Amino acid sequence: MRARSSAKDFFKLVRSHFHRGADPLPRLRPQEAPAPRGLHRGRAMKDAPQASIMSRLNDVLAIRITMLVGSIWAFYAFVIFGLTPILWPEYETEILYWSNFLQLIFLPIITVGTAILSRNSERRAVEDHRTIRREFALLQDAHEMLGTSLREVAADVHELLVHANSAGAAGLSAASVAS
């Protein structure tokens, strides 16, 4: 009868978490998660200095410019700008100058913005990986608990069948003796 108690415990655990609105994955609370560790200028991230207002402003500016220059509307504007020498051939040298100037300005900004975006994506991917690993561990625990319960239930059913067969055989032999 141990199988029933472990199965009852399992279902009691499931009901208590899901039906009362409790957190179904109590081990996944963010305050319990370890701080992400990566490198920031040669030091661990948790040892990294807090970002200054200027560096945060630079990051926001680089990301916004990257997103703006990477839009389809910026593409349309650059196509129109590139075709202006057809309409005004006398300004071709000035247009070429401004075109080169824009390339020299936008190339480093786009590179920095892309690096910032990939850093944020990497940080998010590390956190997602940790969460998935914790969920997988919970699923493995639940699978082991269910496997144990099923083995115990199967053993109890086997005992009942053996007991029923022996009782049925005793009943048949008593009936054959009586006849």
- Residue pLDDT, tens place only, 91-129: 889 988 998 998 999 888 888 888 888 888 898 999 999
Domain count, the chain: 1
Count of CA atoms in the C-beta half-sphere (13 A) of 72: 0
**What is the CA 9 to chain-centroid distance, rounded?**
30
Q: Tell me if 69 is assigned to some domain.
A: yes
* 101 close to 107: Cβ distance less than 8 angstroms: no
Residue 42 located in a structural domain: no
pTM comes to: 0.43
Tell me if 7 is assigned to some domain.
no
Range of the domain at 156: 52-178
Q: Does 128 reside within a domain?
A: yes
Residue 174 belongs to some domain of the structure: yes
d(CA 131, CA 136): 9
Regions of the chain short of the pLDDT cut 70: 1-50, 170-179
* Residue 177 confidence (pLDDT): 59
Query: What was the pLDDT predicted at 33?
Result: 45
Residue 77 lies in a domain: yes
